[in-house]
Structure 1
Amino acid sequence: MPNPRAPFPFLVTVLVFFILPLIFFPNGGYVRFAEGGKRRVHITDDLDDVVDDEEDDTWKEWGKKSTQHFDLPPNDMSKMELSEIQAEMMKRHSGPVFGFIKLRLGVKRTRDMVAEIAMKWSKVLRTGSIGVRFMGVDMSTIMVTMERGQDMTELKEFVLSQPEAYEIKIGDQVFRRPGDPPLDQIVEKLQNERKGIENDGSTESNRQVKEEL
């Protein structure tokens, strides 16, 4: 005779797997356990309360206007020489300037030699990133044009370091090596020599002195 209590375990199993979840999760929440791992994090667009304190220095400097550093002139110029004041003013001159370089007098040269000197000087200073150009004018004079007046100090030091140059004149300023007499004295000396040559009758030497003067 079969046992009438045999279906009881089956009913218990059905109750556990199908009925109890509906009692504890009436909205079908038991189905959402599998969906938990698929949820995505949503970031709201309202970031007013968010504080970002990780700005780097590059970001802080971006967009700012660059500040220029100026070499201010001395406050008191009353104790300065005129040449020093002119030099200070020239250092702050940003536009182009031009001047003339007097070569050493008493040296026999041709126009080609003067042109070679001018070309050599131009190449040397351009290598040093100074925008300058030299051009021969006559047997003893070279004209110089410079893009930036701030480079005048470098130009002056370079020219006076060359053995062919005697003095450089830019505007009203004349620069020579310490101890060298003014050019007028050299010219006067050569004129006296020319007079002596004229008395001796040496035409070739006389012509050379006239060309230099």
Structure 2
Amino acid sequence: MARPKRSPLDYIRGQIWVHEVAREAGISSLSQIDEALGFTKDRSWYKYRRGENAPDKKTVAEVETVLPGTDSWFYEGPKQIFSVLECTRIQDAISFLKKAGVPTPEDDDHLDGNFYINYLSRAGLSQLNFHAEYGRQRGNDDSIFAWILGAAHSEARFLGNTYSLELVVHDCLEYFHRRYSIAPERWEHDVDIKEARAAVTAFGITKPYVLK
């Protein structure tokens, strides 16, 4: 039987998943991971980390039996980013962003066009500003950049407003690079992200807006 075809996003999923599995297992080296999980068969842990291979559903499920909750890092990603990127309807993207903890504007119950614009803009740009200020003062978990990317991406895809994504894409992809060693260009299978990066490059911006 032929192996299931992997998508570019599956390799990114695997990179994030293996980092978080190792963290949950409390190990400092992937050479220790099989022993830590009680596995007798070697997996392709280093290939997962480098994005050269992606774990299949069986492997993810086997790890889940030992470390409950780790499968969410593969299927949903930090702050639901994978779920959001795969959405084909704005309503679904909003639902996942809210599940990830993105603040909800006051007109939550009035789901018209203004709601979506206000929600996504607030979730993306104002949260970026909030994080920048909060981070300077106290330090913070920068996984907030994952939901900023989701919100700005949804705004570009579903509302046709690319400004937010162009403004935040560099910082957001830098977060994944710094945290999970995922090179920014690996996201360019996504047309919205690719176009946002191209727009940033066209303006000659070579450094992140916020991260120092």
TM range (shorter): under 0.3
Which structure has greater strand proportion?
1
Q: TM-score, normalised by structure 2?
A: 0.28
Q: Which has the larger radius of gyration?
A: 1
Q: TM-score, normalised by structure 1?
A: 0.28
Which structure has greater helix proportion?
2
